[in-house]
Amino acid sequence: MLAGVLGIDGTELTDEERDFLRETPPAGVILFARNIADRDQLRRLTDAIRTAASPARPLVFIDQEGGRVMRLRPPVWRSLPAMARIGELCLGNPGAADLAAEAVGRLIGADLAEAGIDVACAPVLDVAAPGLTEAIGSRAFSGDPEVVSRLGRKVADGLLAAGILPVIKHLPGHGRALVDSHMGLPVVEAGRDDLAARDFRPFQALADLPIGMTAHILFRAIDPDRPATLSARVIEDVIRGEIGFAGLLLSDDLGMGALSGGLAGRASDCLAAGCDLALACSGRIEDARVLAQTLPELAGEPLRRYEQALAFRPAAPAAVDVAADEHHLRATHLVA
């Protein structure tokens, strides 16, 4: 398998995509709203991806956090609260917030499992700071790292209980970014001690989880020249070192405006810096072909971490009591 996670174009595989998956299967495929129409169609698509890539078994990823970042949306799928609302609940009723965060994880997990999706790119562990870009905004639980750690763990527990792998993001912390990294490169001026005391703490608390995603952020106090995704100093010294994350490390989308240069160079640079998998979300078959010529086969330590992530899923996921979890979210006024 290629050391990458790639997008596809539409609600059905094209002949070109089917051939690509058969000949050069990636480690993962990521889905977006453009790939989703209804429940039956989505399950056919995930089945088709696996059939085309067989005997390889790429993981199927999706961004499904709750709030505004949900690819499975009403009216076909249920409404779920933004994480900031659960963080607000935690201030007055931490026990109810714990239950709500875990319920959200289980409900997301139940929907993804039904659809044949393996991985939820959640929870967001970024610690909100004043002026935080709306690209994160209500996706962050709180400005208190202890609240972020506590509720992030509960969401991850809920996902895993339903048999879905969580992804902690955005390592080593996106909460101070004042610029949307989809559009440009955020630069964080905070000192290393301040970052360690606040931004890194939720990632340290959840460093045992199986998959993480990097941030396209330039931390001037750590590496003044390269954003985290492309920085061996950030990945080796901070993410793998100080934070202690030993799981499978996925770049954020290489198509975002925070990064410069061509796609092939970005992919090569992120792997050289220490990412295990390069994420390219465009869905263009031309981009997939570029990456097929650029990315290595998944091997060595990245392959070990990939297999370690697969083993993290419970052998027999628990049945989700959807009615009870939905009732708790309504009772705490997190959903109507």
Picking from 158, 166, 91, the residue whose alpha carbon sits closest to that of residue 125 is 166
Query: Cis omega (within 30 of 0) on the bond before 55?
Result: yes
Taking residues 6-24, what's their average pLDDT? 97
pLDDT, one tens digit per residue, over 126-157 is 999 988 888 899 999 999 999 999 999 999 99
Picking from 123, 120, 56, the residue whose alpha carbon sits closest to that of residue 313 is 120
Taking residues 182-190, what's their average pLDDT? 93
Taking residues 265-290, what's their average pLDDT? 97
| CA pair distance 285, 17, nearest whole angstrom | 7
Cβ(157)–Cβ(208) below 8 Å: no
pLDDT score at 10: 97
Question: How buried is residue 266: exposed, middle or buried, by Cβ count under 10 Å (0-12/13-18/19+)?
Answer: buried
The alpha carbon of residue 79 and the mean position of all alpha carbons in its chain are separated, in whole angstroms, by: 19
| CA pair distance 248, 279, nearest whole angstrom | 12
Q: Which residues contact 312 (CB under 8 A, 6 or more apart)?
A: 160, 165, 209, 210
At 132, the amino acid letter reads L
Please compute, for residue 111, the number of CA atoms within 13 A of its CA located in the half-sphere on the CB side.
27
Kindly state the tokens that stand for 11. 């609600």
Taking residues 34-38, what's their average pLDDT? 98
Please tell me what DSSP assigns to residue 234. I
pLDDT score at 59: 97
Count H helices, E strands: the chain? 12, 12
Cβ(280)–Cβ(287) below 8 Å: yes
| CA pair distance 97, 328, nearest whole angstrom | 10
Catalytic residue ranges: 182, 252
Picking from 251, 257, 292, the residue whose alpha carbon sits closest to that of residue 274 is 251
* 186 pLDDT above the threshold of 90: yes
Q: Which residues contact 22 (CB under 8 A, 6 or more apart)?
A: 52, 53
Catalogue all structural domains in the chain, each as residue range(s) with its CATH number: 2-331 (3.20.20.300)
pLDDT, one tens digit per residue, over 61-114 is 999 999 999 999 999 999 999 999 999 999 999 999 999 999 999 999 999 999
The alpha carbon of residue 192 and the mean position of all alpha carbons in its chain are separated, in whole angstroms, by: 25
CA quadruple 310, 313, 319, 320: dihedral sign:
negative
Helix runs in the chain, H state only: 15-23, 39-53, 83-92, 94-115, 145-161, 192-194, 201-205, 232, 263-273, 285-294, 300-311, 322-331
pLDDT score at 233: 98
Widest Cα–Cα separation across the chain: 54
Other C-beta atoms lying within 10 Å of the C-beta of residue 11 = 15
| CA pair distance 175, 124, nearest whole angstrom | 10
pLDDT score at 172: 97
Other C-beta atoms lying within 10 Å of the C-beta of residue 224 = 11
| CA pair distance 290, 48, nearest whole angstrom | 23
Picking from 169, 168, 66, the residue whose alpha carbon sits closest to that of residue 109 is 66
